[in-house]
Amino acid sequence: MTSRRATGIVLALCLGASQSAVLVLTPVLASVASDLGVSTAVAGQLRTFSGLAAGVTALLSGLIASRVGLRDLLAAGLSVLAVGSGASAIAPGFAVLAGAQLLVGVGIGITYSAAVAAVAEWSRPDERSRVLAVALLGPPLAWVLGMPVAGMVGAASWRLAWIAVPLASALLALAVVARRPASPPAAARADVRSVLRYPGVLRWSAGELLAFSAWAGTLVFAGALFVESYGLSVAATGVLLGVGALVYVPGNLLFRRWVDVHSRRMLVLLALGAAAMVVTFYTLRDDEWSSLALFAGLSFLAGGRTLAGSARGLDLAPELRLGVTGVRTAAIQLGYFVGAAVGGAALAAGGYSAVGLAFAGLFACATVPHLWPSSPRGDAACPEVPGEA
């Protein structure tokens, strides 16, 4: 196995572990609510606790960039994630489980930010796009593989789901990361203010927040669309969404050949394509198979756009990479809240067609930061990638 591929696999395991902690509640939420004596709506707020903790932690992760190397930071994030997952599995009540979710969120924030930053630090410039493409396979594969496992063991006990998916994933990733040599701390501390003041970073992060809000919102309401439009069972809907999500993987791998030169252009074109696709997905509901095909096409475009967004961010501020990836991780977490809020309001106002229009608007707005001409100061401090407009 080449060093490039090995690095990509290590980071994919780390990103997959963080994603598994996000998804594990989805199939067992009703069981958690019933067992702990709370409503499903209240139990759903557990994701709020972990999401807010992940976002805040990600924004602050750059503060320790100059003190802790990325390998040790990844190990720390995975350790906190494992402890939070284990505590979730044995929590005797809702309050303790909510506290455990704060730990889970801290682990997610550190692990995701450090893993994406490590792509650039642990690979040569000519290998970066390939390593990044492999690393970013972690989250979708965690969704495709982890969701069925969580559902199967969760049928016996929701507590087992926390052990079988995020705890096991975190321990596996931790064992692999521990085998890597220690890496030195960054040369500069990447606090949030310094990162956002760096030329181009604020506009890029705004585009990432808008695009992730649209994609996360799509994932939140896609299952309900299949159930309510076609009368499918929850199990059948889960299978269809898993099949559709698989197409995210080739989208990620295919577009890597252009991302080194055309990342900015890709962010515009893929977001516009996703805008058109999401409108069609939520409006044209002839049968479940046509909707599945549209969802798969949207997943394909999202895979390419995620790769392009990550590559663009890693190029913006080389000495502040952990801070930049922390901002992006926070945008992902906040995107779930924005997407759910926008989609819920649109659904109440005008049904699924309105949801499609709302998410299309978010995708379209995500192109604006990349269409805005760079200032002379920004060009000097952060040159355009060769070959880009």
Residues 215-262 have pLDDT tens digits of 888 877 887 788 788 887 756 766 777 777 788 778 777 887 788 778
**pLDDT-derived band of residue 273, with 50, 70 and 90 as boundaries?**
very high
Q: How many CB atoms lie within 10 A of CB 337?
A: 17
Domain 190-389 in CATH: superfamily?
MFS general substrate transporter like domains (1.20.1250.20)
Distance of CA 31 to the CA centre of its chain: 25
Whether the pLDDT of residue 376 is over 60: the answer is no
Nearest CA to 37 out of 97, 119, 108 is that of: 97
| 296 in Cβ contact with 243 (< 8 Å) | yes
User: What does pTM read for this prediction?
Assistant: 0.77
Domain edges within the chain: 1-189, 190-389
Top CATH class, 1-189:
mainly alpha
User: Quick one: what percent of the chain has pLDDT higher than 90?
Assistant: 31
Give the separation between CA 322 and CA 46, rounded to whole angstroms: 27
- DSSP secondary structure letter of residue 198: S
Whether the pLDDT of residue 290 is over 80: the answer is yes
**pLDDT-derived band of residue 14, with 50, 70 and 90 as boundaries?**
very high
Does 1-189 match 190-389 in CATH topology?
yes
- DSSP secondary structure letter of residue 79: H
Instruction: Please state the φ and ψ torsions of residue 247, each to the nearest 5 degrees.
Output: -70, -15
**pLDDT-derived band of residue 268, with 50, 70 and 90 as boundaries?**
very high
